[in-house]
Amino acid sequence: MERTSWLILVIFSCLLAFSSGRELKVRQEDKLAAYNHTLATILVEYASAVYMSDLTELFTWTCPRCDGLTKGFEVIDLVVDIQHCLQAFVGVAKDLNAVVIAFRGTQEHSIQNWIEDLFWKQLDLNYPGMPDAMVHNGFYYAYHNTTMRPAILNAVKRANEFYGDLDVIVTGHSMGGAMASFCGLDLKVNHETKNVQVITFGQPRIGNAAFASYYSKLVPNTIRVTNEHDVVPHLPPYYSYFPQKTYHHFPREVWLYNIGLGSQMYEVEKVCDGSGEDPTCSRSVTGNSISDHLVYYGVELMCEAWRSCKIVHDPGLVEYSKTDLQGNFILSRDPAAPILKMKTQSNGGGNHI
């Protein structure tokens, strides 16, 4: 890792050490989601698959990560925002009786740069219709002001028209987790979707305590999984001396960590309290690891290669593709149509954009 990144982490650790004191409580104990380990291990595979850059394999659900617990998933829309380097899919998981929406995390810059940026990021946008609720404008706009939102809402509508009202489960890792949270909230607030569940992995803080409080009332069925010393859930930093002004996580956190007993290591999954900032969960350790950010439940949450917004897709998909003037595109299929059985070209025969 670069020297500057280490420096940032060191400064950050010091700040954390000094940040003790009064904290605002965001308590919603009774209504909060129960943690379901099985469901979390299924969803982490969706959050991993959305990182794949071969869009043909992703759209036809034949990618190397499109197997295992997610086998049989039917993608309805695959949304690729070239302008902002974002990617998401919407589809139907019949075994879960649910529409699953997954957002990819950051890919454009190296993850170190992204983490450094997050470190200094101030709360800078009022969440519409929620007095005092402040959020991070970058995450907010990534969902609300790009091709993501209209495409996703349209796909959910089409899925519900065809399958009847399914539950909606929204997931994502890292920045994708931040977008998943805004999406879950949007579905609840603006589209009256009844059963919305959000499960994110290693997501950063996205708003202040007032926002966290609204959020947990509106989307109580939310689990925010954190892992060991993963740095990202510690960002932007929590400043205890400014409880009204600081970023504040919403509940419910589930913290994964290992304990050694004798020569054995055990993975613990700690279900945290309703405050969003349980001092006995990830807050009890220093967020100083990037590698803990990239693997959850043993599943890799990253692209095969960082940095480039590389996209590969097959010319055969043209009939499913809609492209706008900026080059953003959506691969879309009618839920009523039979599942695509596309022969994929594995040796780079697709288009590189």
Ligand X SMILES: *[C@@H]1O[C@H](CO)[C@@H](O)[C@H](O)[C@H]1NC(C)=O
Residue 327 binding ligand X, by CB under 6 A: no
Min separation Cβ 20 and ligand X, Å: 35
> Is the CB of 36 or the CB of 113 nearer to ligand X?
36
> Is the CB of 9 or the CB of 80 nearer to ligand X?
80
Residue 96 binding ligand X, by CB under 6 A: yes
User: Which one of residues 5, 13, 19, 36 is an interface residue with ligand X (CB under 6 A)?
Assistant: 36
> Is the CB of 46 or the CB of 238 nearer to ligand X?
46
Min separation Cβ 146 and ligand X, Å: 7
Residue 325 binding ligand X, by CB under 6 A: no
Reduced 3-state DSSP string for the chain: CCHHHHHHHHHHHHHHHHCCCCCCCCCCHHHCCCCCHHHHHHHHHHHHHCCCCEHHHHHCCCCCCCCHHHCCCEEEEEEEECCCCEEEEEEEEHHHCEEEEEECCCCCCCHHHHHHHHHCCCCCEECCCCCCCEECHHHHHHHHCCCHHHHHHHHHHHHHHHHCCCEEEEEEECHHHHHHHHHHHHHHHHCCCCCEEEEEECCCCCEEHHHHHHHHHHCCCEEEEEECCECHHHCCCCCCCCCCCCECCCCCEEEEEEEEECCEEEEEEEECCCCCCCCCCHHHCCCCECHHHHEECCEECCCCCCCCCCCEECHHHHHHEEECCCCCEEEECCCCCCCCCCCCCCCCCCEEC
Min separation Cβ 83 and ligand X, Å: 7
Residue 258 binding ligand X, by CB under 6 A: no
Encode 152-172: b = buried (16+ Cβ within 10 Å), e = exposed: bbbbbebbbeebeebbbbbbb
Min separation Cβ 34 and ligand X, Å: 7
Min separation Cβ 136 and ligand X, Å: 12
Min separation Cβ 39 and ligand X, Å: 4
Residue 141 binding ligand X, by CB under 6 A: yes
Residue 38 binding ligand X, by CB under 6 A: yes
User: Which one of residues 122, 145, 308, 323 is an interface residue with ligand X (CB under 6 A)?
Assistant: 145
Region from 36-44, 173-181, 283-291, 301-309 binding ligand X, contact rule CB under 6 A: 36-44
Min separation Cβ 219 and ligand X, Å: 18
> Is the CB of 37 or the CB of 191 nearer to ligand X?
37
> Is the CB of 36 or the CB of 240 nearer to ligand X?
36
> Is the CB of 9 or the CB of 135 nearer to ligand X?
135
Min separation Cβ 42 and ligand X, Å: 6
- Count of residues near ligand X by CB under 6 A: 6
Please report, as ranges, the residues that interact with ligand X according to CB under 6 A: 36, 38-39, 96, 141, 145
